[in-house]
Amino acid sequence: MYCQLEGFGNAPGADLTPVDGLSSPFMRLSELEQRNYAADGFLIRASAFTPMEVETLRDAVERAALRAMQLAESGATYVLDGKRFVDSGYTTVQFEPESGSDTIRVVEPVHELDDRLSNLLDDIRIVEPMRDLVGAEHLAVWTDKLNLKRPFEGSGFGWHQDSPYWVHDCDHVDQLPNVLIALDAASEENGCFRVIRGSHTRGCLAGINDGSQLGGFYTDPALFDEQQQVPMIVPAGSLVFFNAHSVHGSLPNNSAEPRRALVLTYQPAGFPMLKSKRVRNVG
């Protein structure tokens, strides 16, 4: 049920090589991929990273999570709708909502917490398709997140778009495509990522007006068709590109398997990042 580029893959044992300024036509989106992305609002490149590379990235995110935990010890805590957040400088660490839980759910931004994650931002397999999706040859990073979804504990993400979060900080919200890098095989059981096919075509949609603090960020269910959801059941190392206006979410992880993912968001070069306000051009 997804648009996978047949035969795409990388040589076994390839390292996480940053882009060197050369453009590879092979990595760019084919016309078919561009048409699929325009219609669906998402695109999958399965197994873009080798098992060895995925292992390196898992190690990097676990180290980054340890560093995030240390930062959180001296950060400023606040609670929204029962969810605990800690800000340390411009880094936000979100904990699982279970009362008293010290399990990290999300870290944003995360790339500064491990050099391997910083290098990943320049990886040609991500940057080349992003050039087509942003519509610019020169790119910068907008934001980057680590979603951990630990076994039996990782909570779900309600249906939402990213664009309403960002539209107040950015004048080019139509040029902020995301890529989710699956660090574990994703299944229905471990709460795979889900996208509402075609929901990106109507810009920012209204949120829920239920009087809660975060309700406005969850998309009004009357404005999209849940039947159009596509579960991203993908092998570890796969890339899921998706539009900032796509309604997306996921169910809790009820399995013994983790479902970790990085979500990177790009923009045209020269613009500052969402949280640090620094410019992080690519390549």
Ligand X SMILES: O=C(O)CCC(=O)C(=O)O
Residues in contact with ligand X by the rule CB under 6 A: 145, 147, 157, 162, 193, 248-250, 261, 263
Q: Specify which residues 4 forms β-bridges with.
A: 44
Least distance (Å) between residue 225 CB and ligand X: 18
Least distance (Å) between residue 138 CB and ligand X: 25
Taking only Cα atoms into account, the Rg of the chain, rounded to an integer number of angstroms, comes to: 18
How far apart CA 62 and CA 64 sit, in angstroms, is: 5
Least distance (Å) between residue 246 CB and ligand X: 10
Please give the order of strands across the beta sheet that includes 229-231: 157-160, 248-250, 193-196, 229-231
Least distance (Å) between residue 265 CB and ligand X: 9
How far apart CA 132 and CA 195 sit, in angstroms, is: 20
Least distance (Å) between residue 249 CB and ligand X: 6
Please give the order of strands across the beta sheet that includes 42-45: 42-45, 239-242, 178-182, 261-268, 139-147, 104-108, 91-95, 83-88, 76-80
Nearest residue (CB) to ligand X, 50 versus 246: 246
Give per-residue burial for 225-234: e unless 16+ CB within 10 Å, then b: eeeebbbbbb
Least distance (Å) between residue 19 CB and ligand X: 24
Listed in sequence order, the residues at least 6 apart from 59 whose beta carbon sits closer than 8 Å to its beta carbon are: 116
Nearest residue (CB) to ligand X, 117 versus 263: 263
Nearest residue (CB) to ligand X, 120 versus 263: 263
Least distance (Å) between residue 264 CB and ligand X: 10
Nearest residue (CB) to ligand X, 134 versus 240: 240
How many helical (H) and strand (E) elements, i.e. helices and strands, does the chain have?
A: 5, 13
Nearest residue (CB) to ligand X, 157 versus 271: 157
Q: Tell me which H or E stretch contains 2.
A: none
Please identify the residue of the shown chain whose CB is closest to the bound ligand X: 250
Nearest residue (CB) to ligand X, 29 versus 179: 179
Nearest residue (CB) to ligand X, 124 versus 141: 141
In sign, the C-alpha dihedral spanning 47, 50, 55, 57 is negative
- Alpha-helical segments (H) within 87-244: 115-120, 124-134, 163-166
